[in-house]
Structure 1
Amino acid sequence: MKAVYIQKTGDPATIIVGELPIPKVRPKSVLIKVIAVSINYVDLFIRSGIYQTELPHPYILGRDAIGQVVEIGKDVTQFKVGDQVWTNSMGYDGRQGITSEYALIPEERLFLAPKNADSLKLIAAVHSAATAAIVLQDTMMLKPKQKLLIEGAAGHVGSKLVYLANEMGGEVVTTSSLQDFSRLKQLSAAICFDYRDKSLFQKLKSAYPDGFDHVIDTSGEIPLQFNCDLLASKGAISLITAPKDSYFDSRQFYMNCWQIKGFVISHASLAQIQKAGQILNDAFKKGQLLEEDMTIKKFDEAAEMHDLMETKKENRKIILVP
């Protein structure tokens, strides 16, 4: 089968597109014929060796794939041949990746794709959408009517946070460019602020004098102290990327009982992945959370696409097809 793999970690030049054996089915596993995979920044971190995790040798790149079941193990009960399924937790912690014509997936890491959902839009969405779902449910533990500020709200993760936080009953406030306001208001009852506004901080403080229960910056462009100054008493900042400037006033921080919580989806438990998958599928059935901003390329272009992402020359979601 054609596969996109590496023999050692390194830059995009280490990527090989070649032939590897089709994996043999095990009792609790499912063999899928891959339709499409997505590239995430964490895939770049694993390929380069920045993110340290156990990898098979050779290592097939990627964690998110959608495909059709072609064979099931003797102990598999949830899926049958012909089902269209997706996964978003392969390619790390010793599990083989999925950028190959066929991929072997443990049954517990698969989800049945809703029949009405576009397969490419679905797999383009699962990484950011699962991140948003787990952050809201398990990191923030967002409660109805709590005030949540989402910075960079029009991005891949930000837009998913906006929709899901609204579904959970949160009071959603966003920062983005003016051109994204209408789309964000379609996703939720969001109150939108222009991130380019030089008086943004003063406007947020004036509109929300008691502060926000939760703040999350999806862009990594906001200084940590800026967001600390927007928190309510006992409020929390959730980090899914490093802030532009990590300085903060520790005295002010502890006196207000604030918290900083970090989240990396590679550390999510299987239970969290499964719970998020159910939330995503419920939304996918309604035509929600699906990714529209993407570009579709062939497996043969994997190295070039890794390079474009690494150098920030491609901001659309990149999908690879065999």
Structure 2
Amino acid sequence: MRAALILEHGDRNNVVVGEYPKPEAGPKEVVVKVEAVSLNHLDIFVRRGIPGRKLPLPHISGGDISGIVEQVGEGVLNAKPGDRVLIDPSIPGHGALGEDLTGGLAEYVKVPAQNLIPLPDEISFEEAAALPIAYGTAWRMLITRGKLQANETILILGASGGVGNAAVLIAKLAGAKVIAAAGSDDKLEKLKELGADLVINYNTTDFSKEVWNYTGKKGADVVVDYTGKATWPQSIKATAVKGRILTCGATTGYEAVTDLRYVWVREITIIGSNGWEAGDLITLLELVQSRKLKPIIDRVLPLEEIREAHRIIEEREFFGKIIIKP
């Protein structure tokens, strides 16, 4: 089968489209014909090499996968060939598809049958593939962990990316007032179209001062910061008394400086959020099916353009999800 193969860790020239053995379903496993895969920054990190992780090479990344069941192994009762499915990338006890295990940037992928989620006909493969990592992460961070409430003010940093887009849409769905921050004016215009109440270019403006002024010197009730080192000190200052800071990552570095004076004086709560649960993905599918939520897709590319997809993500020339169709 054709697959996007990471031959060595390093730059995107180390990703090539080549032949790879087609998987066979073992007991309680299924083989899925991949119809769509969405990329995440995680795919870039995996390609570059994650410190402390050693992957057998060549490796196939891609965790967000939708497709059609091709083959079922012995003992599989919850699926049959022809079923449309979304795959939960988190494999209990083994890690994540695309990160620790062989992913879906290929014509076929083998997964445990328990990780299949039925995909309604009303939802496209592209919409479904956009959901797990970005939207699942955002849902758990804002709703499950952050307990975001209607009428609260939320600041979302990195709002133009996959998790950021998802956070804006989910926050509006929750009835919150949304301040969206991104690095270019054209992306800010798109964030307005998504419903952001205030947009801030954090490359040209001190976003903490903007938030402070916009909220009448109260600060945001909730701040979403998965940027880390570059923005964390300002995020602390932008948070209201008894506010919450939510984080699920640190794209600019995890050694962020925390001015503890703000934390104790304002009684700020810092909440970490890691991943999602299968129930979160089912809820998101229901929201998409009812058209209460529409995942933002930047573009759809063939597998042969995988290097271009990596370039677009690395150079931040996208708004929403990049979808690959093998």
* TM-score, length basis structure 1: 0.82
**Shift in alpha-carbon separation, 1:294–1:126, aligned structure 2, 3 A:** farther
* Offset of residue 98 of structure 1: 1.4
User: Residue type of the partner of 1:223?
Assistant: T
**Shift in alpha-carbon separation, 1:195–1:68, aligned structure 2, 3 A:** same
**Shift in alpha-carbon separation, 1:166–1:82, aligned structure 2, 3 A:** same
**Shift in alpha-carbon separation, 1:198–1:36, aligned structure 2, 3 A:** closer
Matches within 5 A, 1:196-275: 201-202=208-209, 204-208=211-215, 209-217=217-225, 223-239=231-247, 240-242=249-251, 246-264=256-274, 268=275, 272-275=276-279
Structure 1: any 5+ residue segments left out of the alignment?
none
* Offset of residue 252 of structure 1: 2.8
Percent sequence identity is 28
User: What secondary structure sits across from 2:55 in the alignment?
Assistant: coil
Partners of 1:112 and 1:51 lie apart in 2 by: 35
The two structures, once aligned, show a CA RMSD in angstroms of 3.0
Alignment of 1:23 with 2:23, yes or no, is yes
Partners of 1:224 and 1:34 lie apart in 2 by: 38
Cα deviation, 1:9-60, whole Å, max 9, x if unaligned, reads: 3322332322222211122211111112222110111121135446355422
Judge conservation of contact 1:150–1:162 (CA < 8 Å) in 2.
yes
Judge conservation of contact 1:193–1:200 (CA < 8 Å) in 2.
no
Alignment of 1:86 with 2:97, yes or no, is no
Give the counterpart of 2:124 among 110, 115, 118. 118
Residue of structure 2 equivalent to 1:314: 317
Structure 2: any 5+ residue segments left out of the alignment?
90-95
**Shift in alpha-carbon separation, 1:20–1:211, aligned structure 2, 3 A:** same
**Shift in alpha-carbon separation, 1:59–1:194, aligned structure 2, 3 A:** closer
Alignment of 1:292 with 2:307, yes or no, is no
* TM-score, length basis structure 2: 0.81
Judge conservation of contact 1:296–1:320 (CA < 8 Å) in 2.
yes
Cα deviation, 1:255-275, whole Å, max 9, x if unaligned, reads: 3332333445xxx3xxx3302
Partners of 1:57 and 1:243 lie apart in 2 by: 27
* Offset of residue 86 of structure 1: 1.9
* Offset of residue 120 of structure 1: 2.0
Judge conservation of contact 1:295–1:319 (CA < 8 Å) in 2.
yes
Residue of structure 1 equivalent to 2:194: 184
User: What secondary structure sits across from 1:148 in the alignment?
Assistant: strand
